[in-house]
A = this chain, B = another copy of it.
């Protein structure tokens, strides 16, 4: 490599690029941590959001996860294939598909949780609870 390519940084300027870059970096860390259970952080998050008493329609889940409904539909495929979630048509409205985490999914989450915790601690170790709260507030402002 012949010279130093450091270039005046659009990374710092563009809010979107800053967020995306950080998200990618942090995602790699969580994915690596979760590797032993064969989950990535997206799948872990989806399963985590299903740890609730009732089943949830796809649209509602997508809304809560802040992703496009059609993305979630496809993200559910690998989880269904592995029997970690179950989807059933709603008895009263045949258009609606309700998603539930399976027993197998719950079991896997028990093994996954401590792995997640390691990545989470590594991520938040340089930041105080107060800073984290502030950070979350700014994040909300940026997305609204």
Contacts and interface: CB of A to CB of B under 8 A. Distances in A.
Interface in A31-73: 41-42, 45, 48-49, 52, 54, 56-57, 60, 64-67
A56 B5 contact: yes
- Tell me what chain A mostly uses at the interface: helix, strand, loop, or mixed: helix
Interface in A1-31: 1, 3, 5-7, 10-12, 14-27, 29-30
Interface residues of A, number: 56
A19 B26 contact: yes
Contact of A60 (B5, B20, B57): B5
A45 B10 contact: yes
A110 interface: no
Contacts of A82: none
A126 B7 CA distance: 29
